[in-house]
Amino acid sequence: MVTEVGKYYLGVDLGSTTAKSVIVDERGAIVGSNVVQMGAVSKEGMRRSVEGALLAAGLVRDDISGTIGTGYGRRLVPGVDRTFTEITCHARGVAAMCPGVALVIDVGGQDSKVIAVDDEGLVDNFAMNDRCASGTGRFFEVLARAIEVDVDDLGALALRGTRDLEVSSMCATFAETELVSLLAEGAEPADIAASVHRAVAARTLGMVAQVGKRSPVVMTGGVAKNAAAVKFLADLLGTDVRVPADPQVTGAYGAALLALETYGANGSEPGSDVEFPVRAAPGCATCALVNGGSTSTPGAHDAGAHAAAATPLRLTIHSHR
């Protein structure tokens, strides 16, 4: 692909197990993207992902007018102009891909998050599990290993299950032993797979309860490619769950759109300061410092400071001429 002359913006989402890169043009349309599977956070994986997106777009690095990084390894992205939390980027990306979305459920390699989105496509509330691999891509890898199937075949296998078995351990460390025990008792692999998928959906529903159930619902992340994971979650929610065409790049897409909005025609030059008025989080020392010791009024704030704040960031980008 040979891209037309113009300005282009790069978003890089360096997660725990995958690196995702998206390039958008001045209209916000995706002109190139790439996903690289990694064993862990990897600069090499990130480099290959960026190069793959540039190749797909027919561009070189010097054609990029602004770069924003997100994800676990966002500060490892070379040449990044600014970083944002994955909460902000996922909300922005999904709101652009699926206009009208009210709830984003993202299940990645080692964490899961539920993000409530308001009418303007901004983060209204969120819940995040990043301390346990339960219900994440890693957890499904444990399941696949225990029942000796390819992880890509888990969804189809789970949809064939007819019995609901008790799966008491949702810890990725101990679950494998329990699953092997179920196999030793004669349980069918399809029933085990279905039961684990139901248990994961129930755990995710608990996170939804923390932010408030609402619809339309969009599921993203690598696990969103698992048809059974989507179906069992939809059944528990009692509503349809939409999945974007490429559910793994929504965070990188959101980062690319933020780069466009920050450094585009009416934005700042890369490397310059950009102001982000936010609501102060109750009891947050960082908010107190930037507001002169008071958390009652919002002030300029680094978007990464509230990855786990009780009151999440609500960001508005202001144009700088």
Residue pLDDT tens, the chain, 321 long: 545 667 999 999 988 788 999 999 999 999 999 999 876 667 888 889 999 999 999 999 999 999 999 988 887 777 788 999 999 999 999 999 999 999 999 988 778 899 999 988 899 999 988 666 666 778 888 888 888 899 899 999 999 999 988 777 666 666 777 888 888 899 899 999 999 898 889 889 989 999 999 999 999 998 999 999 999 999 999 999 999 999 999 999 999 999 999 988 665 555 444 434 333 333 333 323 323 333 333 333 333 333 333 333 333 333 322
Residues 267 and 284 both lie in one domain: no
**Phi/psi of residue 95, nearest 5 degrees:** -60, -30
Residues 162 and 231 both lie in one domain: yes
Is 27 contained in some domain? yes
Residues 156 and 282 both lie in one domain: no
Biggest alpha carbon–alpha carbon distance for the chain: 69
Are 255 and 70 in contact by the 8 Å Cβ rule? The answer is yes
Residues 104 and 238 both lie in one domain: yes
Among 224, 242, 260, identify where a domain stops. 242
Q: How far is CA 292 from the centre of its chain?
A: 33
Residues 127 and 65 both lie in one domain: no
Is 1 contained in some domain? no
- Peptide bond preceding 270: is omega within 30 degrees of 0, i.e. cis? no
- What CATH code is carried by the domain that includes residue 180? 3.30.420.40
If one counts every other C-beta atom within 10 angstroms of the C-beta of residue 247, the result is 21
pTM, entire model? 0.79
Is 256 contained in some domain? yes
Domain count, the chain: 3
Is 2 contained in some domain? no
Q: Which two tokens stand for residue 52?
A: 């793959």
- Peptide bond preceding 312: is omega within 30 degrees of 0, i.e. cis? no
C-alpha–C-alpha distance, residues 288 and 295, integer Å: 5
188 three-class SS? coil
Are 250 and 223 in contact by the 8 Å Cβ rule? The answer is no
Residues 191 and 218 both lie in one domain: yes
Among 242, 264, 297, identify where a domain stops. 242
Residues 269 and 281 both lie in one domain: no
C-alpha–C-alpha distance, residues 61 and 73, integer Å: 20
pLDDT at position 120: 87
Is 182 contained in some domain? yes
Residues 229 and 133 both lie in one domain: yes
Is 163 contained in some domain? yes
For 53, the domain range is 8-85+249-273
Residues 268 and 279 both lie in one domain: no
Residues 40 and 119 both lie in one domain: no
Residues 145 and 196 both lie in one domain: yes
Residues 214 and 292 both lie in one domain: no
Sequence letter at residue 299: G
Q: b/e per residue, 134-157, with b = 16+ CB within 10 A?
A: bbbbbbbbbbbebbebeeeebbeb
Is 90 contained in some domain? no
Is 94 contained in some domain? no
C-alpha–C-alpha distance, residues 46 and 48, integer Å: 5
